[in-house]
């Protein structure tokens, strides 16, 4: 008989706490300011729903707070561009909103919560191509968990997390889930 | 969502709302862009099987399927093997053998899409069958109402004219009541179907009494091709009692809208000054029709085949 079988499973400490998420967003905002430098007015942060959308809004708010320059924000729903609809079935669509000034000739930074296979980003790139012709497209993610299936990499990464394929990275954001945290659950690390 | 869209009873409130929300998102996604095309149904084949004349519905479905990158085959009975006597079943099996993922069918016989759905593997969308149903018309009407008035729950809709022969009226009664609207049918007694008292609607013979309390007036086309018996004494008398003219439009509530599924008989059921007024949503309905049909095709064909 072992004692541990009678004890409840110890709570999994979050990969990122609310404070960590805030710090990471601040750091990426600073990196974006540094990279975009004099072209901040050219910058458009485009979130990939669901959780990329509030992340893009937060980044924009922090960039404005640090630099004093307001930054355009948008969202692009990628559902109709996915290559796995036949595997996973149809799903409800989400918002696609771009700034009135469009994305032509501007620096578009796609924002998502987790970078995994890279397929969402590929779909987002296809969607962007139909929406205009940006000067350049970059990618910012909160968590990069590896296991890419396409030649795609992020330009700004909040946290690199080595994971196994069976694990799940759950991102919770206050705007949608009531609190900020990132959890790594399931599987063997 | 079920596999086919044969009648509005295939949609419960959640499904119908999903179609309308999907429509809104598609419109938003395509608004103002140069390339009005999405890759969603690439490699899928949609057959437009039209046994009855149609301009707007066929073009609308064709455009919807093409904007989703599906391959589209248009089939009309004229100039096809049907004129050589081929049956509906053999036509369907032929198309099936060519690998149709979706079949959009219009037929003069009520129930033809139901029969078709039993013979083919793909999804069947009813684009109007006889005097039975025209579900995508009801969906685009519901979408147009929600777009203009911001809601459907509690909206008072008067459906005016030839309810007896109208599949548009049947589908609208079913869908709008599912979505919480209150429907009143206004028609001469000869143009109301048997058993209308069992429908979830109010019936009136007096248009002037209904108009001041209507948020939406939906005028139905007087279908000359189906007027084979004397349903009313003369066109002039029908127009005087059930036509919507400027004088009648003036008694409508301030934000009320006037709808018509087209094609219109100007001067008969609807006066030109009404059809061209700001209250009229007739042109918007046509535009919304494409988006609604895109939503339906996406939801039925976008996912995994069975």
Residue A1 has pLDDT above 50, yes or no: no
Q: Would you call A80 and B38 a contact, using CB atoms and an 8 Å cutoff?
A: yes
Q: What is the reported pLDDT for A83?
A: 87
Residue ranges per domain, chain A? 18-162
Q: Would you call A87 and B38 a contact, using CB atoms and an 8 Å cutoff?
A: no
B124 and B139, same domain (yes or no): no
Q: Would you call B302 and A85 a contact, using CB atoms and an 8 Å cutoff?
A: yes
B17 and B111, same domain (yes or no): yes
Count up the domains in chain B and report the number. Answer: 2
- The average pLDDT across B101-105 equals 96
d(CA B42, CA B65): 10
Look up the ipTM and state it. Answer: 0.81
- The average pLDDT across B12-30 equals 96
B86 and B152, same domain (yes or no): no
Q: Which residues of B are catalytic?
A: 56-57, 84, 106, 134
B40 touches chain A (CB under 8 A): yes
Q: Would you call A94 and B25 a contact, using CB atoms and an 8 Å cutoff?
A: yes
Mean pLDDT of chain B: 93
Residue A113's Cα: distance from chain center in Å? Answer: 3
Give A5-43 pLDDT, tens digit per residue: 566 666 778 999 999 999 999 999 999 999 887 788 899
From the CA of A11, how many Å to the nearest CA of chain B?
Answer: 37
Mean pLDDT of chain A: 91
From the CA of A160, how many Å to the nearest CA of chain B?
Answer: 32
Residue B301 has pLDDT above 60, yes or no: yes
**Domain presence at residue B306:** no
Q: Would you call B26 and A86 a contact, using CB atoms and an 8 Å cutoff?
A: no
Give B158-215 pLDDT, tens digit per residue: 999 999 999 999 999 999 999 999 999 999 999 999 999 999 999 999 999 999 999 9
B38 and B111, same domain (yes or no): yes
**Closest-approach residue (CA) in chain A for B300:** A90
Give B108-155 pLDDT, tens digit per residue: 999 999 999 999 999 999 999 999 999 999 999 999 999 999 999 999
Within A38-105, where are the H helices?
A: 52-67, 85-88
* Residue appearing with tokens 């669901």: A50
B96 and B77, same domain (yes or no): yes
Q: What is the reported pLDDT for A7?
A: 64
Lowest mean pLDDT among A180-189, B51-60, B100-109: A180-189
Q: Would you call A86 and B298 a contact, using CB atoms and an 8 Å cutoff?
A: no
**Domain presence at residue B32:** yes
List the CATH number of the domain containing B125.
Answer: 3.40.50.1370
B162 and B94, same domain (yes or no): no
What are the tokens at B17?
A: 């709302």
B188 and B254, same domain (yes or no): yes
B187 and B293, same domain (yes or no): no
Give A39-80 pLDDT, tens digit per residue: 888 999 999 999 999 999 999 999 999 999 999 999 999 999
State the count of interchain CB pairs (< 8 A) between A and B.
50
Residue A3 has pLDDT above 60, yes or no: no
Q: How confident is the model at residue A188 (pLDDT cuts 50, 70, 90)?
A: low
B189 and B297, same domain (yes or no): no
B36 and B147, same domain (yes or no): no
B162: containing domain: 135-281
From the CA of B26, how many Å to the nearest CA of chain A?
Answer: 8
From the CA of A135, how many Å to the nearest CA of chain B?
Answer: 18
B123 and B159, same domain (yes or no): no
**Domain presence at residue B97:** yes
Burial class (CB in 10 A: 0-12, 13-18, 19+), A61: middle
- The average pLDDT across B288-293 equals 97
Q: Of A116 and B77, which is predicted with more confidence?
A: A116
Residue A180 has pLDDT above 90, yes or no: yes
Nearest CB among A90, A97, A126 relative to B302 is that of A90
Instruction: Tell whether domain A18-162 is in CATH 3.40.50.2020.
Output: yes
- The average pLDDT across B69-82 equals 83
- Whether the CA torsion B81, B82, B83, B87 is positive or negative: it is positive
């Amino acid at each position: 008989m072992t004692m541990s079988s009678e004890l409840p499973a110890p709570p999994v400490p979050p990969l990122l706490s609310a404070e960590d998420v805030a710090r990471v967003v601040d750091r990426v905002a600073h990196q974006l300011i540094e990279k975009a430098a004099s072209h901040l007015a050219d910058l458009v942060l485009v979130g990939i729903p669901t959780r990329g959308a509030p992340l893009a809004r937060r980044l924009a708010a922090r960039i404005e707070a640090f630099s004093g320059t307001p930054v355009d924000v948008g969202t692009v729903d990628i559902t109709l561009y996915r290559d796995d609809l036949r595997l996973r079935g149809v799903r409800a669509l989400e918002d696609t909103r771009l700034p009135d000034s469009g994305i032509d000739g501007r620096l578009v930074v796609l924002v998502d919560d987790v970078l995994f296979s890279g397929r969402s980003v590929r779909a987002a790139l296809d969607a962007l191509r139909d929406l205009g012709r940006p000067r350049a497209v970059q990618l910012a993610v909160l968590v990069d968990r590896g296991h890419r299936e396409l030649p795609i990499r992020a330009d700004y990464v909040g946290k690199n997390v080595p994971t196994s394929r069976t694990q799940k990275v759950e991102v919770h954001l206050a705007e949608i889930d009531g609190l900020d945290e990132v959890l790594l659950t399931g599987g063997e690390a | 969502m079920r596999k086919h869209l044969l009648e509005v009873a295939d949609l419960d409130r959640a499904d119908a709302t999903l179609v309308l929300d999907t429509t809104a998102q598609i419109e938003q996604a395509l608004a103002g862009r140069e390339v009005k095309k999405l890759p969603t149904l690439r490699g899928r084949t949609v057959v437009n099987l039209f046994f009855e004349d149609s301009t707007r519905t066929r073009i609308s479905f064709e455009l919807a399927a093409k904007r989703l990158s599906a391959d589209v085959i248009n089939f009309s009975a004229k100039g096809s093997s049907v004129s050589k006597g081929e049956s509906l079943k053999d036509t369907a099996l032929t198309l099936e053998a060519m690998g149709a993922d979706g079949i959009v069918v219009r037929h003069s016989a009520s129930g033809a899409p139901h029969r078709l759905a039993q013979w083919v593997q793909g999804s069947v969308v009813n684009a109007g069958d006889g005097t039975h149903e025209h579900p995508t018309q009801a969906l685009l009407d519901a979408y147009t109402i929600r777009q203009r008035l911001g809601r459907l729950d509690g909206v008072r809709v008067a459906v005016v004219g030839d309810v007896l022969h109208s599949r548009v009226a049947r589908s609208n009664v079913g869908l709008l009541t599912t979505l919480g609207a209150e429907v009143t049918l206004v028609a001469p007694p000869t143009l109301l179907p048997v058993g209308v008292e069992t429908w979830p609607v109010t019936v009136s013979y007096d248009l002037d009494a209904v108009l001041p309390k209507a948020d939406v007036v939906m005028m139905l086309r007087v279908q000359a091709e189906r007027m084979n018996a004397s349903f009313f004494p003369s066109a002039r008398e029908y127009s005087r009692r059930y036509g919507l003219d400027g004088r009648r439009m003036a008694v409508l509530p301030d934000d009320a809208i006037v709808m018509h599924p087209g094609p219109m008989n100007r001067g008969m059921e609807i006066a030109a000054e009404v059809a061209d007024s700001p209250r009229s949503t007739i042109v918007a309905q046509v535009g919304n029709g494409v988006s609604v049909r895109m939503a339906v095709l996406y939801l039925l064909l976008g996912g995994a085949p069975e």
